[in-house]
Amino acid sequence: MSQVHILAARSPISFESELVSCSSTISTSISISFNDKTTNTLLDRFISTPVTHDTTPAIDDGRDEFAVPGLPPVHYGHIDTHLRNGVMKAAELAADGEPDAEKAFFVADLSYVYSQHLRWKRLLPEIEPFYAVKCNPDPYVLRLLKALGTGFDCASNGEISQVLSLGVDPSRVIFANPCKATSFVRQSAKAGVEMMTFDNTDELYKIARAHPGAKLVVRILTDDSKSLCRLGLKYGAPLVTVPALLAKAKELDLNVIGVSFHVGSGCYDTAAYVDAIARARAAFDMGKAAGYDFTLLDVGGGFEDATFERAASILKEALDAHFPCRDKMRIIAEPGRYYVSKAFSLAVNVIARRAPPGLEGGGEDSEEADPEQPSVMYYINDGVYGAFNCIMFDHQTPQPYVLCLNGSFHVPASVDMCAASVWGPTCDSIDVVCPVTRLPRTLQVGDWLAFENMGAYTVCAASQFNGFALSNAVYTTGGGVGSAEVRRLLRGSALA
């Protein structure tokens, strides 16, 4: 059974000072209440002391607020600060009678994306990252990665258009979908996107008609049995079929420049890269036999934050073993969740509660019939049809921590816990976020929960089923040394 994580500072910061720097209207108090009887007094408790700011122009030290035209503002400060600010803003909106005042919201720390890129360049300097847009096509994430010089792995005409609209050069895009609509192939030719993958003969005929000048990459099948999402069930040519595919490409006078593979999204066995590189070596040799001189190797995605150091080490060892001479060889990869998973957190409001009669009061004296079975059902304002679609589509098991309990951000370590389940807001019984977890016995309607690691395959696949709106994002560049650099890159990207 999973345990709830009680909110604690995740870096040595002072929340009081950051609250001052991030809001011109909210005071530094952190004790709040959302009960109907006290809603009208919220502003007296939290915004009675306006905060003034020095507006003297100065060199950007990473603390000023700015925005790219057409997008929300980018703030400064730790992600926890903005989770709390969002809760207090919801209280303010509720006091004003705003509909959906307690709407769930993301907080995105763009400095995390930046730090992950620096980490990639340090550990895999030879491999160019082509960010998998499908993972999270957030406009600020894409702008930052463009400014950092990454390429982009696109799977559709829509993703290609989104990336190119930012000013990305078409040479920095790979159309990494082995089975594309003919119209998409034709549009790629018009847009100047030349690199694209294939894994079957029909795709070669299609490309020969619609984009004969394409630079093709044969997608080979690898062992992805140790990954969360097994892409090999859908894509990848078995090695035994590669010689015939290359012979057909030669017959159609198509230019095949290299090999790609994907060990599966969310690969938790880094040894899978060893087998994949060995298969890629065999495919390179097949290309030589077919009359091609391959110059590109695409090692795909599957990179996990927790195992990245190990994966990088294994990749380098495998490349040295199978491709010792790489002077004229370009190596790219397709990381997605590696960049964004931990960059986004989600705050949700408890909108309803169901409990047996003995637990309705929520008091500490309430007893559970079975302490290991959920005795209380909590309903939150985002679910599996929204940001938590990662549960169904990406095999994730998100767990909450308490953001606000009974009007306070302080949750005592001694708080009494009980087994509970957490449900989304739709009128569908499959909309369950946590079948079993442990939450404070005194958690009530109006309290707030938060979920970490919500940046990968969440909002990108969210729907508005049942009329529920998508959760919006609040952006920050963090409070660390990279904040000013992230802002500089984003500003430069907006002006380019």
DSSP string, 406-439: TTBS---TT--EEEEEEE-SSS-TT-EEEEEEEE
d(CA 303, CA 323): 21
Give backbone dihedrals phi and psi of 198, rounded to 5 degrees, phi first.
-150, 160
Catalytic residue among 267, 325, 418, 427: 427
**Collapsing DSSP states into helix, strand and coil, what is residue 312?**
helix
Q: Which two tokens stand for residue 292?
A: 């091609």
Catalytic residue list contains 434: no
Q: 32-68 burial, b if ≥16 CB within 10 A, otherwise e?
A: bbbeeeebeebbebbbeeeeeeeeeeeeeebbbbeeb
Adjacent-strand bridge partners of 109: 476
Taking alpha carbons only, the member of 21, 45, 111 closest to residue 409 is 45
Which amino acid is located at 89 in the chain? K
User: 318 with 278: CB under 8 angstroms?
Assistant: yes
Instruction: Identify the burial level of 247 via C-beta atoms within 10 angstroms of its C-beta, where 0-12 means exposed, 13-18 middle and 19 or more buried.
Output: middle
Q: Among candidates 89, 111, 110, 109, which has minimal Cα distance to 100?
A: 89
Q: Which residues are catalytic?
A: 427
